[in-house]
Structure 1
Amino acid sequence: MALVQYSDSESEEDLSQSLSSPRPAKRLCPSTATPVSSLPPLPKAFHDLYASNTRISVKDDPSLHGGRKRAIPHVEGNWPTHVYLEWYPSKEELAALSNLIAQIEGKLRRSKVEIKSLLRSDLGAQLPLHISLSRPVILRTEQRQSFLETFQSAIKDSNILAFNVAAEGLHCVSNYEKTRWFYVLRLKKPGNDGLNRLLGLSNRALALFSQPPLYEASSPILNADAGSRGSMQRERSKVHGQTDPTDYSHCFHISVAWSLTEPSPDEKDHIANIDIQESSDFDIHFDCIKAKIGNNITNIPLHGVIG
């Protein structure tokens, strides 16, 4: 299986206002010296404000990205798009994942395969992990809003509730181009089948814009630029009503590290046999889905969750 690349009720407007409006020091650091741990958690939208690095170059320069090559060339008017679920591990989970990566490195020590962690940036800042629900695809400028509206409407009408997932195995898999190898936690199927259901909505919404599905071997591609507005509305209705009986539960994963070199078959077997008991105890909660178009990230709450 190939791998793709990849208070809570505050709105983004409220968040930007709070960041731009200075407050008296006594409100942030009262004389009673309230411990930092007593502060409320950051709004979820905070992380999205700094989710993308400043673009250094529009050309493919692997030296800027740890040797990685751009999967999709930069073209004016094209907007890289990705649909996914995001997870920020807790301090305890981060420690367990760091230990897991150290064990992977131990299995690869003889071959000198160099792996890079996805847990932290080069500057040591914690990075979010994710479950992909689409390939890295491209939307044209005129398609962005239409896709977002179609997908948001489909999620709203789906009645998919927030759910938890847990890890059940560790594997090494490649991306589609076989230019990178990822070390991933496989996931157990959640009780409400939320991953398969969300994948189906994502695949069908992107098919309206001539984009390939994730994991499906083949899928009818519908051209959003052809036909009348009425035809487009009829195709959109398929996103809401169609169901996909195929179970892709064995495909869903969370990447924790990557390498530019492929491990040997024996090394892959050794990695798959690593005991992940500590990581399998994670109960990873998802209550929203994210759609990233260019550098703009939209949070779409699942049914019953106030956005």
Structure 2
Amino acid sequence: MSISSMSALHDESIASWKTNAAYWDNGIGQDGNKYWKRLQKPALERMIPFQQGADMRVLELATGNGLVARWFAAKGASVLATDISTEMLDISARRELPEHKGKISYLQLDVTDPEELDVLAAENAGGFDVVMMNMAIMDISTIEPLAAALPKLLKKNGIFVGTLLHPVFFNSGTRRSIQIVDGGPDGYPEIIRARTIEKYLDIPPYHGVALYGQPAQQVYYHRPLHELFSTFFKTGLVMDAMEEPAFTAEDAVPESIGATPNFTQLPPILAFRMRRVF
């Protein structure tokens, strides 16, 4: 894809979040949806080493409505919450609770712009303990500038934690299939759920929705695992944790046979942790 085409898609991505900001906020809410409560938050709690009384400095990228920033602040961290969308930042500030005052600050930031990242690193020369990007890597047109900036943004032994839609099971063209087999083990019909994956290595940017009914489609950027991880490895970061959180039977949605939480063997998201060791 040409540079001009990628630039146009990047501009479209920014415009879509401006349009979708209020709808997204309504869908996620103050305390998060099922994906946050059952998949993302448990994984982050295992990956991020909170210590009682420790002064943790956090840089959050693509904060959205501030859900993760508020979660960090509630644990005592000092958070710089950033987003390319001023609409999202305004919503985040309005969502802030009284007990979070002084713990969260806000900054408009384009994580695809090397110059903006360099300025941010220079203004925070001491570095951050944690750089966090929750469920946004697949929304970013290029991750190379971020990967290059992380060694400058992180303290030594600091961590970058990312979560995203699982590149294997959630990409353009993946099809869900459901078979109902009569005479299952308990005498009732057995429901077999699967996903058919035709393409994985080479999938161009595509349009989709995160929340059904949102006003504008957004652009998704697919990266196979080797491409995703090697981008960070090339800058000297080391991956020391990875999880593939999945829903369980208690998350099932009986009234919607094709709902993602019913596919308990196919993880919807991928979570990973990279560390600056030098």
TM value normalised by structure 2: 0.25
Higher relative contact order (CA 8 A, sep 6+): 1
Structure (1 or 2) with the greater strand fraction: 2
- Structure exhibiting the larger radius of gyration computed from Cα positions: 1
